[in-house]
Amino acid sequence: MRPGATERPARPDVTFKVCLAGDPGVGKTSLVRRFLSNTFDGEYIHTLGTKVSSKHIEIDDPDHPGVPMTVGATVWDIMGDPGFRELLKEAFFNNLGALLLVADGTRFETVYLLTEWYDAVRSVCGEVPTVVLINKSDVAALARVEAAAADVCEPIGCHWLVTSAKTGENVEQAFRLVSQLYVNRARAMKGKIDLSTERPAVYVTGKAF
């Protein structure tokens, strides 16, 4: 190992695909950048197609409380244009393990639009562990969006967090939570799926949490 390099397992215990979905401009690319390189850029560059990156995340081993396990998240930052959703949803969501649905806290209508993203995901891969992120908490008036988030999350039965790609609030936590939900579900399904697989994702259908 190079001097100064931080040690991390060459191979994570499990890998999975996590996708960020939500309308254009809500902050998907900025959240990924904050998560991967702990930086922020105020300029808006429209995402074309998809950018795939990966990062190891440490979570609790659900079968051994207090013992950490490493998961490899393959992060898909997709183009959020609703007009392309039907056309590209198979490519975006095939083999999805977990989902981050992102809304803009300064535009509460983007919260309600998440149900359309969720339906598109479900039509491809069934119900996957999902966390809703109300982003731009550094500038948002949160009371109204929090009410909208409750409206959207209750029927889906998913968690939601307030995040800021600008300040970093809850960004790491969001990726850790969705990874933990994925692994908890994968473990609960033990025997039906192979956790030692090296394929980028294991997806399962059915309500898991």
Ligand X SMILES: Nc1nc2c(ncn2[C@@H]2O[C@H](COP(=O)(O)OP(=O)(O)O)[C@@H](O)[C@H]2O)c(=O)[nH]1
What is the H or E stretch that residue 177 is in? helix 171-188
Q: Does 47 bind Mg ion (CB under 5 A)?
A: yes
Question: Which residues touch 117 (CB under 8 Å, ≥6 apart)?
Answer: 21, 22, 85, 101
For ligand X, give the closer residue by CB, 32 or 186. 32
Give, as ranges, the residues between 128 and 157 that touch ligand X (CB under 6 A). Answer: 135-136, 138-139
Query: Which whole-number Å values give the CA distances from 37 to 12, 41, 101, in the listed order?
Result: 20, 11, 21
- Least distance to ligand X, CB of residue 38, Å: 14
- Can you tell me the distance from the alpha carbon of 60 to that of 178, in angstroms, rounded to the nearest whole number? 12
**Two tokens, residue 172:** 């790491």
- Least distance to ligand X, CB of residue 75, Å: 12
Q: Does 164 bind ligand X (CB under 6 A)?
A: yes
Give, as ranges, the residues between 93 and 132 that touch ligand X (CB under 6 A). Answer: none
Binding-site member from 29, 130, 135, 180 for Mg ion (CB under 5 A): 29
- Least distance to Mg ion, CB of residue 169, Å: 19
For Mg ion, give the closer residue by CB, 51 or 187. 51
For ligand X, give the closer residue by CB, 17 or 28. 28
Span near ligand X by CB under 6 A; candidates 36-44, 53-61, 66-74, 191-199:
36-44
Number of residues counted as binding ligand X (CB under 6 A): 20
Question: Which residues touch 174 (CB under 8 Å, ≥6 apart)?
Answer: 31, 100, 131, 133, 161, 163
- Can you tell me the distance from the alpha carbon of 109 to that of 94, in angstroms, rounded to the nearest whole number? 27
Q: Does 135 bind Mg ion (CB under 5 A)?
A: no
Binding-site member from 30, 110, 130, 179 for ligand X (CB under 6 A): 30
- Least distance to ligand X, CB of residue 116, Å: 15
Number of residues counted as binding Mg ion (CB under 5 A): 3
DSSP of 99-123: EEEEEETT-THHHHTHHHHHHHHHH
Placement of tokens 């992060």 in the chain: 75
**Two tokens, residue 191:** 């025997």
**Two tokens, residue 196:** 């030692």
Give, as ranges, the residues between 85 and 124 that touch Mg ion (CB under 5 A). Answer: none
- Chain residues binding ligand X by CB under 6 A are 24-30, 41-44, 47, 80, 135-136, 138-139, 164-166
